[in-house]
Structure 1
């Protein structure tokens, strides 16, 4: 049952109830961004530090010194003038005031003020420097691994238990785990809790993304999704201000957890986030689908209609939903039987991996020209917001697939120019190409997720999007690894991603055009809609239009003829059950307040 073709989600039914639900779904993005991005503040690069002097190791004649003089006789000097060693103390063999070597720190470290704004971080509390420096990138990789597992596991839970159930459950678990992180007593406990915390927050983000997309009508789907990205950016920037206000990582984690609890308190009620009617229909939960559709349409219900019509509609609903079929759930394993859908998931996962991973290369070219710490964050978020804004007119004018192809072309060209001509380009050209590459890579990764959500079927949209988002998080895992690597590793990283980005251009040509119209409901429906630029014979079945342009008003799928227009909605299902389809159309026309209501009643009167 195609809810878009039947008129459930159209611009004419974009009523106050749907607008409230969609607008309310933007606000949790702020809280989820706070939770997802607080990690890089807590585990930013270690601040300047040196060993704390140990008077017991000094000769008696030097123990009375203090201040800089004490540091001069306790710490060895490094080659840059005025720089002390961060990890070693001078060693004195006896009462002789002349040192003959160095030794490890014995009384801990003294740290400078961190650039992140937090005066106390886990690095400072547990001395994660010198021999324990490797624990910082380990934590970042484990946190990203939690994102990956959360997307894959909880994405499948979206298809099995529902979008709303997964969102509420993930938020509840994230609130409990966040409280445990704020009360961690040692670093291993913090490490394990951060793994599960990242998984639950990523699962909440994914389930909310899918629920918002499936509630929107085709005309508003793109703009609503892009606006939601702005709220995520607001949360990413707001976490910087929270760090300055809190100044302690435990307090910051407690505030973030409290905000997640507020989201759970309000969005735990179905009024602000109902269950997706699309998922309820495709899983054969007809009674729940009936209630969800009526709640969404109640603001368009006409109270002036005679009660006899309402009674007739209730009887028709009872006949329509009288089937006592058991719910039919789906597993991600079913996608292996649909080779075209599985191919699309692999291609889009590859593009998402490249879009997130290549940002590191562009950012490295810009860092020498930027102030430290906060400025790169503001730049990245500003470019992501600009990319989301530009994607709306581009997708409307050129189509989904052409927009994704254009973003990938710009990313690959700027990457190749910087890789081959960096030493010969003037400074302003390097800055321009790096900024353009960052903008295009942001647009590439953001639009890849949106494009995926429109071509994946409802029965497996959560699991498919989970795999594609997990690939993007895997690309981000290269950043903490490269931050602790040598310079040649950066150029190797750039070369690999630039080469694969060129390969992705050919892969995009294999993808179908989304068209921005009806969402596919089943695997069969998604397989029928496959049209690629490389398979010209399929164009003939779609009419005289180019796949990069908007679709025609008349389309045919597996023996089902659908006419989309302002005045008609005719459906000829394969089972020939005209009575149930007629009752369903009557329900939609009456409950959603469309102009077809009078025409349907006249046709029924003539038939009687």
Structure 2
């Protein structure tokens, strides 16, 4: 009886070992979130700073000068002109547009025998023939707009370039996110850094707008790989209590780069010099290539994909740097590395997954769709609020710094509140605030005072940025490790699609802005209902397998009465709850193996595959009649 049924117990035992949580069984025994993990997280913040410099340099490269007009063409003036001052010559050569001053795109054309400029008569106007004269813009003295005259009939090339740049980021998130799940976080990070650096140098050497557009698109894809690989690797090195704080500090580093960028533009003056400087900050990250310990491979991903030899090497490196030793001569067969060897066989092959497998799931697919939707709304609706900032104060620096400071404030508020009130509750609150601010501005802007419109716009901008950031962070916690790169890449790509919507508005000269605002306000109201379907991941371990990701279900909206769950005969005692002890578990497993070897004289070591397949290692199938 005992012999026939004991293999089933061993099957259960090995199955439990395979489902051991990384944070509980492995992470504490390698030093936990020790000094080495903290230093790796700190070095990952530097890459956020470098990526943001390249991302927001786009704002200065494509900024239209505050004032410009056609360069005077002597052939359009009369052959004989009286002595006129420079300002008077401009007034008689360029049409005056009510409300905006001198025309940006037209010149007067006079007859050759014309001599009296005081006579008011209809004048023929033509487009600029000798180019344009520009005043100095914000920060840079020259950018691609002034170098290639991308104004008037060529202005459409600016929003087109911005759209193509975002398409590069979208494609990078999708392609390189899936590559992170197949090749690893470190490989994609270093490859993307090298590629983005080379493309950045090429961008600074662009000869025309077409060359600039294609190189910028390619660099955007590489920068997406740098950001995504860093984000995932940093998250997987943290324990549950520190995940949010470490991620938000990385966001503050990004805000710091955004705030310093205007000063860098003033120092560089020329857009090509500025491009080389921000590219140099990326190339400095190649030092991580030689300093392996600065950016190691994620041990969680290695174990989840069953790359055992590499995982053991990385885990031992973490333990040594954290002051914990895992060598066999100290802990004998009860140490972590020996336990990994007992679970995984020598012929264990790596097992990779792709993001397409997410379609066959139910909970993971639902969570990903909802968070992609909220990330899309959070990025897309920001244009509705920033446009009101431009109407309130047309100066470039006002809207720029308001966006950056609101993003920094959103990071701080999320860091303070999310661990206390939960991911789902704060995301719901931020969505409600975004929707309320958007609807109030949509319906009452013409009836409200300018100060109240400004307050609503700032509140809406702050809440929408919190929605976008929290959606990405929330998604990284509910997606399993084996497809975290590809799944998170899709969600970040959805947020970039929302950014593309604002560039489309500029491409059509803000025609359809009201419809854009109505659509995103309606989506925000819908997202409030969708957020209620999400699970809560506060202080929970990250899921590693698809099965663990499927187990992340939303908590009930209304808790049952306590007596319904605990009848009197089975009264629950809070103090009697048992806690999992890794050391006791390890000793139990070792003692069980020794007992089996002594009593049943096993001829071969335990292997995992037959046990997981449900077959007996002692002989034929179980015979229940013998019981």
Aligned to 1:334: 357
The residue correspondences of 1:2-13 to structure 2 (distance < 5 A) are 2-8=21-27, 13=32
Distance 1:57 1:496, change over 3 A: same
1:27 maps onto 2:43 in alignment: no
Q: 2:110 aligns with which of 92, 109, 113?
A: 92
Deviation, structure 1 residue 570 = 7.6
Contact kept in structure 2, 1:9 and 1:215, CA below 8 Å: no
Aligned to 1:291: 313
Deviation, structure 1 residue 66 = 5.9
Tell me, which stretches of 5 or more residues in structure 1 are unaligned?
545-551, 556-561, 581-608
1:370 maps onto 2:393 in alignment: yes
Q: Distance in 2 between matches of 1:439 and 1:265?
A: 36
Q: 2:145 aligns with which of 117, 123, 129?
A: 123
Aligned to 1:606: none
Aligned to 1:17: 36
Root mean square deviation, CA, Å = 3.2
Paired residues in the alignment total 561
The residue correspondences of 1:168-183 to structure 2 (distance < 5 A) are 168-183=190-205
Aligned to 1:246: 268
Distance 1:417 1:568, change over 3 A: farther
1:139 maps onto 2:161 in alignment: yes
Q: Which shifted more, 400-409 or 456-465?
A: 400-409
Q: Distance in 2 between matches of 1:13 and 1:110?
A: 61
Deviation, structure 1 residue 405 = 1.0
Q: 1:457 aligns with which of 453, 475, 480?
A: 480
Q: Distance in 1 between matches of 2:470 and 2:582?
A: 30
Q: Which shifted more, 385-394 or 169-178?
A: 385-394
Q: Report the secondary structure of 2:266's partner residue.
A: helix
Aligned to 1:153: 175
Aligned to 1:272: 294
Aligned to 1:587: none
Q: Distance in 1 between matches of 2:212 and 2:491?
A: 28
Q: Distance in 1 between matches of 2:258 and 2:500?
A: 18
Deviation, structure 1 residue 195 = 0.4
1:229 maps onto 2:248 in alignment: no
Q: Distance in 1 between matches of 2:370 and 2:592?
A: 40
Distance 1:328 1:317, change over 3 A: closer
Aligned to 1:583: none
The residue correspondences of 1:563-582 to structure 2 (distance < 5 A) are 563-564=579-580
Q: Which shifted more, 325-334 or 526-535?
A: 526-535
Contact kept in structure 2, 1:4 and 1:10, CA below 8 Å: no
Q: Distance in 1 between matches of 2:140 and 2:575?
A: 57
Q: Distance in 2 between matches of 1:571 and 1:341?
A: 36
Q: Distance in 2 between matches of 1:7 and 1:96?
A: 90
Deviation, structure 1 residue 214 = 0.5
Distance 1:553 1:268, change over 3 A: farther
Contact kept in structure 2, 1:354 and 1:475, CA below 8 Å: yes
Deviation, structure 1 residue 509 = 1.3
Contact kept in structure 1, 2:93 and 2:107, CA below 8 Å: yes
Contact kept in structure 2, 1:353 and 1:475, CA below 8 Å: yes
Distance 1:307 1:456, change over 3 A: closer
Q: 2:443 aligns with which of 420, 436, 440?
A: 420
Q: Distance in 2 between matches of 1:270 and 1:16?
A: 16
Deviation track 1:428-455 (CA, whole Å, cap 9, x = no partner) reads 3322222211111111111111100000
Deviation track 1:208-233 (CA, whole Å, cap 9, x = no partner) reads 00000001111111111111100010
Q: Which shifted more, 296-305 or 269-278?
A: 296-305
Q: Which shifted more, 332-341 or 64-73?
A: 64-73
Q: Report the secondary structure of 1:14's partner residue.
A: coil
Deviation, structure 1 residue 362 = 1.8
Q: TM-score, normalised by structure 1?
A: 0.85
Q: Distance in 2 between matches of 1:202 and 1:111?
A: 34
1:187 maps onto 2:205 in alignment: no
Q: 1:483 aligns with which of 489, 506, 518?
A: 506
The residue correspondences of 1:428-507 to structure 2 (distance < 5 A) are 428-483=451-506, 485=508, 489-507=512-530
Contact kept in structure 2, 1:52 and 1:110, CA below 8 Å: yes
Contact kept in structure 2, 1:454 and 1:516, CA below 8 Å: no
Deviation track 1:157-208 (CA, whole Å, cap 9, x = no partner) reads 1111111111110010000000000011111110100000111101110110
Distance 1:343 1:307, change over 3 A: closer
Q: Distance in 1 between matches of 2:477 and 2:262?
A: 34
Q: Which shifted more, 456-465 or 100-109?
A: 100-109
